[in-house]
Amino acid sequence: MNRSERRPTLVISHGAWHQPSSWAATCAALAERGYQTRVPALPSAGNPTPTGSMYDDADVIARAVTEIDGPVVVLAHSYGGMPATQGATGLTQVSHLVYVTAYLLDEGESVFSFHGRSTPSDTGGILRLLKNPRVALYNDIADEPAGRALDELVNQSRRSFTDRLTSAAWRDIPSTYVLCEDDRAIPLAMQERMATRATASRWIAGGHSPYLAAPHRFATVIDEILRSTPDATR
């Protein structure tokens, strides 16, 4: 970006079982590149028993966007694609959406339905963590930082994965899908299906959590995407 261009503020929609603090290193790396960031806490994640729905999460993302004066890019990771897609709908200051191995779904779809799972009769309670999260979430991260990340995981409401989208911001807002080649949580074939809905796509090496594996490298990727996307700075 030229110095005269106004960098958008990034509102980050974090993934399931995670907290805003997991993005601290990447936010610092983005700040070095001139970006302000906001990582609101999503009510579907927390201890001991979160009850927040995907719609509650979407409201939090929408509120974070509307509190910012100037252009906004919503950056979503994993489950965070759901509230980003729902919450950014109709918000004219959102210039771009970035989905990082995130759920880029359409109206009427839920995370459960996308994976071919039926909606349970009881959608309350806690969603079980992925089997072997060390491999699923952090397969390319060294043991010490991966251990810290695992220790910081919190509970996730089941309802957040069964709620269905009622709107899809990507139908009106340009978007980029970032596919992670060695993701062990969201299979590459599923990422490829979702990426076809985005305006553009980009491949990066590594696993499910590139923002934790290599924050500076990841921040560079985000900066490159936004510098090459005219609508992201307006």
How is the chain split into domains, by residue range? 9-232
Residue 150 burial (CB < 10 Å; 0-12/13-18/19+)?
middle
CA neighbor of 71 nearest in space, from 28, 115, 36, 118: 36
CB atoms within 10 A of CB 59: 16
Which residues are 48's β-sheet partners? Answer: none
- List per-residue pLDDT tens for the chain, 234 residues long: 444 467 999 999 999 999 999 999 999 999 999 999 999 999 999 999 999 999 999 999 999 999 999 999 999 999 999 999 999 999 999 999 999 999 999 999 999 999 999 999 999 999 999 999 999 999 999 999 999 999 999 999 999 999 999 999 999 999 999 999 999 999 999 999 999 999 999 999 999 999 999 999 999 999 999 999 877 655
Stated pTM of the model? 0.96
Burial (0-12, 13-18, 19+ Cβ within 10 Å), 116: exposed
So what's the pLDDT on residue 6? Answer: 77
Q: What is the DSSP letter of 116?
A: T
The span from the CA of 146 to the CA of 135, in Å, is 10
Which CATH code for domain 9-232? 3.40.50.1820
CA 188/CA 201 separation, integer angstroms: 13
β-sheet bridge partners, residue 201: 177
